[in-house]
A and B are shown apart, each in its own frame.
Chain A
């Protein structure tokens, strides 16, 4: 079988590096070019040292990009929307890992991102990149916009409940605890080790941009409210979303099990984690490092109609590069799990 020629635009960041790690071992992929303006001409392993002896690729400038079958865009937000025509000319298929084409509504984009979108007329050309929600659209898609990490964990955790209309739609609270790699590889005063180490830093108590994606994907035509907060904690990879919802009816845990099983029973990367014994009874991000799983657990409050849904992912994998590769596999009719079989490490 001939291989798909791909290039990564913006491959020196954490997401680009993770994607490169995955693609290097994908049996149906040939990596043509990887770009970085800061490191043009350097071997990729100089920036991604885990790739020593795995690749002799060097970074190119984006100006040197040649036509290929598919472009992965790992650029900072607000970049791809201004250069999309240039990228479309280079490749018939694009997977954008930035936030630029995730939303479907220009006013919502402006409300959450604080500026007008450069190309809102292209919104509907992009499929929102969570395969568990949009697999059939992905099979026919040329353009996919990979979902945000916090949004992915939150949406996957709550999707079965919202889809089936089981929760009060104005009383959802989500608290995400996130690792430092969510902030990317650009340093700032807050990321300086003496300041960052050991923190439990409430960095976005309200108005996190990923809220817009959660609202979009869970609304099902209704006006819903989702109250989202994010806290930075002392891990590098991974995030845990703790979602509080209020059930309309007095469902029992067995009923909720059935709902999650019906929705995700055949999903290769979703695991329901809710055990009554052992150390890891609920989802734990550290066990997911390097994997594409989203682990989801739940617990019904016996004294109220509150249901707590807990979901965990590796933000660089199911929250970025892994999910993008899963979408790539679906687009091309490959086994969805190709290149994503790693089951994680224990202990870690």
Chain B
């Protein structure tokens, strides 16, 4: 099953047995993604913990 990273547009291959809610990382931009649906395959950016990063 193929879909696209919503951040960088890279092709994402969902392995057999993937379930909704599973977390994976985009191979190109490294963004953590969450599987939203399998039919059609779709992922979204996984929620991140807020960090104090140079604010």
Contact = CB atoms under 8 A, between A and B. Distances in A.
Interface of A: 253-255, 257-258, 261, 272, 274-277, 281
Contacts of A261: 8-10, 28
A48 to B, nearest CB: 37
A276 B48 contact: yes
8 contacts: A254-B8, A257-B7, A257-B10, A261-B9, A261-B28, A272-B28, A277-B48, A277-B51
B29 to A, nearest CB: 6
Contacts of B10: 257, 261
A276 B45 CA distance: 10
Contacts of B9: 254-255, 257-258, 261
A338 to B, nearest CB: 26
A261 B11 CA distance: 12
Nearest to B45: A276
Contacts of B29: 257, 272, 274-276
Main secondary structure of the interface of B (DSSP, over half): loop
A238 to B, nearest CB: 20
B21 interface: no
A255 B4 CA distance: 13
A277 B30 CA distance: 9
B41 interface: no
Contacts of A276: 7, 29-32, 45, 48
B27 to A, nearest CB: 11
Interface residues of B, number: 14
Nearest to A257: B8
A274 B7 CA distance: 10
Contacts of B51: 277
Interface string B4-33: 001111100000000000000000111110
A275 B30 contact: yes
Contacts of A255: 9
A302 B52 CA distance: 21
A254 B9 CA distance: 6
A276 B8 CA distance: 12
Nearest to A274: B29
Contacts of A257: 7-10, 28-29
A257 B6 CA distance: 11
Contacts of A281: 53
A311 B48 CA distance: 26
Nearest to A258: B9
Contacts of B7: 253-254, 257, 276
Nearest to B49: A277
A254 B45 CA distance: 13
